[in-house]
Chain A
Amino acid sequence: MHQLQDFISYFEDSALADNIRENDLLFPLIESVHVLAICLVVGSILVVDLRLLGLASIDRRVSRVTSGILPLTWSAFAVAIASGSLLFISNATKYLENGYFDAKIILICLAGLNMAIFHAISAKDLPKWENETTPPLRARLAGGLSILLWVSVVTCGRWIGFTMQVR
């Protein structure tokens, strides 16, 4: 725990973090990039989730939907992580004390876990059912859970702004 605190203060005390904290433009600018990236992550992953639920793109194989959309999702996710980390180090201690921030990080991990489990279980027999309009229950569950988790991530993200005084 002590080591984690040292680790975090190393970044929080850096000149970069100081700049983001003090510069009037830098924080809103990075925040805008963060919102933009999250919007692309959530919007594009929704396309895949709706296909898994059998509600959209149903004339297309699941693997074709994912290979077409996920490159955008992953690129946007990388930008969201990078911009989010910059926002985080500017006030790391305060963010960690904020319950909505902690919840948001846990929910993102759960969304990742949901995806990993889906891949581990369902990717094996994907060719058997991916042409069907309505995928099997486990795929629909993964899609529905993903929507729920990402909506919660955005909700927590917005709530951070209302429960934390950055400056």
Chain B
Amino acid sequence: MIDVGLSEFSRWLAATQVSHTIQTTEWIIPTLQTIHILSVAAVFSSAILVDLRIWRLLERDVPLPEVARRFLPTIWPVLFILLLTGSLLIIGEPRRSLLNTTFYLKMALLALAILLTAGLQRSISLSPNFWDRDRRRRMAGRFAATVSILVWCGILFAGRWIAYTQAG
């Protein structure tokens, strides 16, 4: 049922004027993908830098709250550019993602990454030594950082994999 609905929706979307323009103007899709990847680079690197700081692998001489303040706020506006370019890419090639399990995996991982990042940012801004109070908190912090690294890597992998699993 859902599949049929999505298939119908994709067909309708692909027939719109915007989609037609994106499909037929040769440079639009590569350009959107390039902006999308550059934005991924900014978001991914920001998250990873903070995660690695939690593991004390980078910027050990800088307190965690400072590192988090420096990098995490960047994520939100750039995420908006990702949403915009991503949506345009879907409009241009609806079947490529809407009928593709990998795309939904990517979106599920993205939701998880957003929750993790927002949680991390909030906990640190509410109490700067939140992840440094005792041994248990430090372990919990490292666990959260590891999950965050894995989830972000999963998003990038899934993103690349959409190209290989798209419906014919």
Q: Report the nearest A residue to B60, measured CB to CB.
A: A68
Known contacts A32-B157, A39-B40, A72-B58; is-contact A158 B52 (Cβ 8 Å) = no
A46 and B45 within 8 A (CB): yes
Interface residues of A in 65-111 (CB under 8 A from B): 68-69, 71-72
Bound together, the chains give a CA A46 to CA B41 distance in angstroms of 10
Q: Say yes or no: is A141 at the interface (Cβ < 8 Å to chain B).
A: no
Whose C-beta in chain B lies nearest to the C-beta of A156?
Answer: B34
A47 part of interface (Cβ distance < 8 Å): yes
Contact of A155 among B29, B34, B40, B161 (CB under 8 A): B34
A8 sits at the interface (CB 8 A): no
Known: A32-B157, A32-B161, A72-B52. A39 touches B59 (CB 8 A): no
Size category, B interface: 20 to 34
* A93–B59 alpha-carbon span in the complex (Å): 42
Interface residues in A, total, Cβ within 8 A: 28
Residues B160 and A39 in contact, CB atoms below 8 Å apart: no
B11 beta carbon closer than 8 Å to chain A: no
Q: How far is the CA of A43 from the CA of B70 in the complex (A)?
A: 14
Interface residues of B (CB under 8 A from A): 29-30, 33-34, 37-38, 40-46, 48-49, 52, 58-59, 61-62, 70, 153, 156-157, 159-161, 163-164
Q: Which residues of A contact B (CB under 8 A)?
A: 28, 31-32, 35-36, 38-40, 42-44, 46-47, 56-57, 60, 64, 68-69, 71-72, 151, 154-155, 158-159, 161-162
Chosen A-B contacts, 20 in total, with CB atoms closer than 8 Å, are A28-B161, A28-B164, A32-B160, A35-B156, A35-B159, A36-B153, A39-B40, A39-B44, A40-B48, A42-B41, A43-B48, A46-B45, A68-B59, A68-B61, A72-B48, A72-B52, A151-B38, A154-B37, A155-B34, A159-B30
